[in-house]
Structure formats: C-alpha cells, structure tokens
Structure 1
Amino acid sequence: MSKNLLIIFTRNPELGKVKTRLAKSIGEENALTIYKTLLDRTEKTTRNLKCDKAVYYSVKIREHDIWDTSIYQKHQQHGDDLGVRMHNAFFEAFSNNYDKVAIIGSDLFNLNPNHINEAFKALGENDIVIGPAHDGGYYLLAMKSLYSQVFKNKKWGTSTVFKDTIKDLKNKHLYLLETLNDIDVYDDLKNIQAFKKYLNK
C-alpha cells in the first residue's frame, strides 16, 4: 500500500446524463462520446502512477469497465452535493491511513501524470495543493489532513469555486499547479484538435 492516494471522481457514462451543458450544443450522443474519450484518457494518464488509486462512481460501481480492479479501488460516491461527496471520499481515505490524498475529475483532456506527481511532491512543504481551472473552478485538490471547510458553502459548478476555496485557506500554506481547461461547454472544444470535428463548420 502506498501512503499516497489519488481519488478519481467519475460519472457513469450514460446517454443524457453526462456533459449536459455540452449536449445542448452538440447533442447527447456526441457529448457521451466525448465523455467516454475523456474517461479513457484519464485512465491512461493515471494507470502507471506510483500511488494508490481509487475510482468513485457517481451512480453505481461497475465491475467490468475500463478501470482494472488490480490497479484501481472502486467506491460509490455518497452525499447530496459535490462538496459532501468529496468530503466523504477524503474522510474515508484519511481513515484508511493515507498520508497524502488528491482528487481529480474525469473531464480533463490536458491533464498529465506530471501534474499529479507535482501535487504529491508539493504536499511535502505545503498544506494544500490546488489545480485551478480556467472556468473558475479547480481540476485537482490535494491535502495531507482533512480541511472540511473547503467543501462547504460553495456554489459548485460556478466560476466562484476556486476564489471561495482560496478564502477558506488564507492561513494555510497553499501551492498552485498550472491552470488547465476542463471540458464542460462548447467553447472548451475549440483548442483540442481531437474534438474539433464536433464544432459547427
């Protein structure tokens, strides 16, 4: 067992239930195809990392999918909103005696292993590591003890999440990764060659 754990939050890839904002522009089937592409990319990015890895499913755990049980633990997300679900996942990780815990989503095309390795390394001298997203949220959060306040009183999915999280951490040693763009809306597709075929000509 590694002392570091990477938590990966995923949505079950079902038609009409993923990338709903994106689907309004390109249709539900295209949105599902893009999300499956992002899931595959996330799996490839994280597969060989030298840490323990846990996939947290939004609806129910799937046994036979891209997440190999010899590499990834499998868990169910629990809670009424994203903040509660993340808090519960971190609480479970620290209860299982992990020293450093990071969480990512599964909608980042440009995430690479170096971002995650950098986050775990930075926790050696910092309390919290955050990977900011261009839309005002964040794509990675890492900590070495549970700071419950960062999961409370946030308008999840809005442009204020990162800013409000920083306010909660003003007395902590904070390390920021580079800013990346997650894939949520139509404009997010424009700078990714693999997704340009979904843009209106």
Structure 2
Amino acid sequence: MTNPPHAAPASDRHLLLFARRPELGRVKTRLAADLGDEAALAVYRRLLAHTQAVAAPVAAHRTVWLAEAGPAADLSDEWGGYEQQPQPPGDLGQKMQAAFAQSFARGAAAVVIIGTDCPGLTTAHLTAAFRALETHDVVLGPATDGGYYLLGMKQLWPDLFQNKAWSTETVRAATEADVQRLKLSLCLLPELRDVDTAADLRAWEAAAR
C-alpha cells in the first residue's frame, strides 16, 4: 500500500503523549478538590487507559513524556509500544516545545501531541490530525474550556508555546492568534471536553449513558 500524496510515512509521524504515573494526591488535583484523592485517581486511571487505547492503532512513532514520579507512584505500566522520556523542566509550553523539537530533530515530518484529559478523543481524531498536516501547517483540537486537547504541526513554530497563560481559558485564542499572525494554515478538529472538574466528570458520565 502506498501513502497518499504528501503524506508522511508512519515512521515520520510522531505521536507524543504527556502523562503522569498514577499516584494518589498527584493526579487530577482540581478534580480531587471536589471528589477526594482516591476518586480522582480512579478517574485518572480510566482516562489514561482510554487515551492509550485510542492511540494504539495510530500508525506513528509513539513517545510518552512522563512527569517526574513521586515515591508512591504506580510504576507497573510498562508503556509497551512507546518510547519513554522524562518531561523536561519549565512550564507546559517549554516542555511541549522541547518535545516537538526532539521529534523534528530526529526527522519527523508531522508531530501531534495530546494529554490524558479528554475522554471524547478517538482514534479517528488522531488519524484526522495527521491527515490534516498533509495540507495544513498546524492542526488544533479545541477544548470547551478554552484550551486544546491536541496540537499538531509539521515544523517547529516556537511562538505557539510562548507567552501563554497555561491552564486558563485564553490558551486556544492566543494560539490561534499566533497562527494567524505567522500566516500559517490551520485545521480545527471538533471541539471536545476535557475532564478537570466534577462538572466535567458528570457531563462525561451522562454522555456515556
């Protein structure tokens, strides 16, 4: 089977995942403020398993960038099929920029990054993101909270990671403004909802029923 015109072969597509090891009191802290640490940890495990499942069929080199684990972290998940890297220092933008830079330095032609907060994410969204990069400079998966659940690009644009108030409702708009200012072509994926609060969790569970 041949690749579509201008499509990067699977080895040139990199899927990056930012994650934490499951650990009581250190994951889903905003959710834990409403539900308690144990319930928040259980939700995180569900989200992590979901993200791994939808990423598994994607034809790409997969790398998980793991936050520093605490003393009680669950290290049992061996992340089969993933290259493992420790998250670099800095704020979220600096971490993501470093992850993208490594992939491009290693010859990637299309790089997509996701987190572990989005239960609505599907394999189809990830496939669509890589397909969009055949004809667009940047692909963005907007989240309902004003951030994004996915970012993809086919070369490094450092401006997209700078001067952002991370974890606020301004991130998506600021990123789109950068794309417009740089005169880049942008593909927007469907808007999805992250699970960060008890209200988000209720919406997820209601949609699943």
Q: CA RMSD in A?
A: 1.8
Deviation of residue 191 (structure 1)?
2.0
1:189 Cα offset (Å): 1.1
8 Å contact from structure 1 (residues 40, 66) kept in 2: no
Q: Which residue identity lines up with residue 36 of structure 2 in the other structure?
A: G
Map of 1:58 onto structure 2: 67
| Aligned counterpart for 2:43 among listed residues 34, 43, 47 | 34
Whole-Å Cα distance in 2 between the matches of residues 185 and 158 of structure 1? 14
User: Which residue of structure 2 lines up, in the alignment, with residue 111 of structure 1?
Assistant: 121
Change in 2 beyond 3 A, CA 1:160/1:18: same
Candidates 184, 190, 193, aligned match of 1:178: 190
- Structure 1 residues 3 and 155: alpha-carbon distance in aligned structure 2, compared to 1, 3 A threshold: same
Q: Is contact 2:165–2:171 with CA below 8 Å preserved after alignment?
A: yes
Q: Distance in 1 between matches of 2:132 and 2:207?
A: 32
Question: Which residue in 2 is equivalent to 1:79?
Answer: 89
Deviations 1:140-162 (A, max 9, x none): 00000000001001010000000
Structure 1 spans left out of the alignment, 5+ residues: 197-201
Residue 11 of structure 1 aligns to which amino acid in structure 2? Answer: R
CA distance in 1, matches of 2:79, 2:117: 16
8 Å contact kept, 2:112–2:151: yes
Determine if contact 1:110/1:180 at 8 Å carries over to the other structure: yes
Residue of structure 2 equivalent to 1:9: 18
Partner Cα distance (1:34, 1:195) in 2: 15
Give ranges in structure 2 of 5+ residues lacking alignment: 1-9
Show CA shifts across 1:56-77 (max 9, x none). 1011598741511xx1111111
Alpha-carbon distance between aligned partners in 2 of 1:185 and 1:153, rounded to the nearest angstrom: 25
How many angstroms apart in 2 are the aligned matches of 1:80 and 1:126?
Answer: 29
* TM-score, normalised by the number of residues in structure 2: 0.88
Within 5 A, what are the aligned runs for 1:39-188? 39-60=48-69, 64-65=76-77, 67-68=79-80, 71-170=81-180, 171-188=183-200
Identity within the alignment, %:
40
Q: Could you give the per-residue CA deviations for residues 75-130 of structure 1, whole angstroms, max 9, x where no partner exists?
A: 11102110000000000000110100000001111100000100100111100000
